[in-house]
Amino acid sequence: MRRAIWLAIWLWAAPGLAQETVVLGLSQDRVAITTQFDGSELLIFGAIRRETAIPDGPLDVIVTLAGPSQPVTVRRKERRFGIWVNTVAVPLAAAPSFYAVASSAPLTDILTETEDLRHAITTRRAIRDVGAASVAPDVANFSEALIRLREAQGTYLRLDGAVRVDQATLFRLRLDLPSALVEGAYATRIFLVRDQVVIAREDAVIDVRKEGLERALHAMSREQPLLYGVLSLAIAVVAGWGAAAVFRAIRAG
């Protein structure tokens, strides 16, 4: 009886021993936005930890980086009487301000729709459009339009094959962050995938904050809007007067 109990415990624990987990590293966990900020390079790297030999079959790695989510309204334009006008406006509950999904192989080859739905990995799954169907039946078209627009702006990235995996144990990704970053916490997720199924996940957070003059002006605009408005007006007046003085001096010379 005792032997049977030990066998049952071993069988229950064996899958846990064979489980693959992620050891994650970041080249930086904080990004400072200053007046000279024009983007940054981020290195995401790590290793796969195992208690047993490497299982058979290919191992793939998916990395996602998501900026703070915000409500977004997407409008459809149509040509009416020779001019383009907004005809339908669809509010999306939340869309990440920045979203990058990088993988060691094309996503369609390594990830099923079910796994994508479960873990919300692709850009389309990262956008929440709950309730928008009451405004327009073709909500998916509006979400896709938002994705195309932000891909053109460089704030949504899909990087198939950008994650390098060495000897099924080490992985790395170099990611170029654009200058148009929104302040806040950026969620980083690492997924290990075998046979199109996610077998492990690791999360981290990168803090993106304004620093120096940028932060001071941002804080003033929120905490003292009247003073910020007066100061902005004064700067505009002085700049206009200075430009006019320079032009007068050039013409007089």
Structure tokens at 106: 């094309």
Residue 144 covered by a domain? yes
Same domain flag for 171 and 252: no
- Same domain, yes or no: 76 and 134: yes
CB 121 within 8 A of CB 64: yes
Residues 143 and 240 in one domain: no
| Bridging pattern class, strands 40-49 and 69-80 | unpaired
Residue 3 lies in a domain: no
Q: Which of 3-12, 72-81, 164-173 has the lowest mean pLDDT?
A: 3-12
In a domain, 5, yes or no: no
Tell me the mean pLDDT in the region 124-151.
82
Q: Are residues 112 and 79 in the same domain?
A: yes
pLDDT tens-digit series, residues 191-241: 999 999 999 999 999 998 876 545 545 555 555 566 556 655 666 666 666
Domain presence at residue 7: no
Residue 1 has pLDDT above 50, yes or no: no
- Pair 24, 114 in one domain: yes
Let me know if residue 4 belongs to a domain: no
Q: 39 and 150: one domain?
A: yes
Q: Which residue has the higher pLDDT, 202 or 244?
A: 202
Radius of gyration of the chain from its Cα atoms, rounded to whole angstroms? 25
For residue 83, tell me if it sits in a domain. yes
Least confident of 7-21, 86-100, 156-170, 188-202: 7-21
CB 60 within 8 A of CB 108: no
> Could you tell me if residue 182 is inside a domain?
yes
- Kindly state the tokens that stand for 78: 């149509």
Same domain? 198 vs 238:
no
Residues 240 and 163 reside in one and the same domain: no
3 vs 203, higher pLDDT? 203
Q: What is the largest CA-CA distance in the chain?
A: 107
pLDDT tens, residue by residue, 19-63: 889 988 888 878 877 766 777 889 999 999 888 888 887 899 999
Indicate whether 160 and 101 sit together in one domain: yes
Q: Indicate if 165 and 242 belong to the same structural domain.
A: no
Across 155-164, b (16+ Cβ under 10 Å) vs e yields: bbbbbeebbe
CA 153 to each of CA 64, 107, 195, 228: distance values in angstroms, whole numbers, following the listed order: 18, 22, 34, 29
Q: Residue 237: give the domain boundaries.
A: 212-253
Please give the average per-residue pLDDT across 128-151, as a whole number.
Answer: 81
Q: Is the same domain home to 201 and 218?
A: no
The chain-wide mean pLDDT, for the chain, equals: 80
Q: Where are the beta strands (DSSP E) in 81-196?
A: 83-96, 99-103, 156-160, 164-166, 170-177, 184-194
The reply to whether 79 falls in a domain is yes
Is the same domain home to 116 and 176? yes
Any idea how long the chain is?
253
The mean per-residue pLDDT over the stretch 157-184 comes to: 92
Q: Number of structural domains, the chain?
A: 2
Gap between the Cα atoms of 65 and 206, Å rounded:
9
> What does the DSSP assignment read for 27-50?
S-SEEEE-TT---EEEEEEEEEE-
Cα(2)–Cα(7) distance, rounded to whole angstroms? 9
pLDDT score recorded for residue 10: 39
Q: What is the pLDDT of residue 187?
A: 95
Among 175, 190, 210, give the residue marking a domain's end: 210
Q: Please state whether the predicted TM-score (pTM) of the whole model is above 0.85.
A: no
Residue located via tokens 């995401």: 44
CATH number at residue 51: 2.60.40.1930
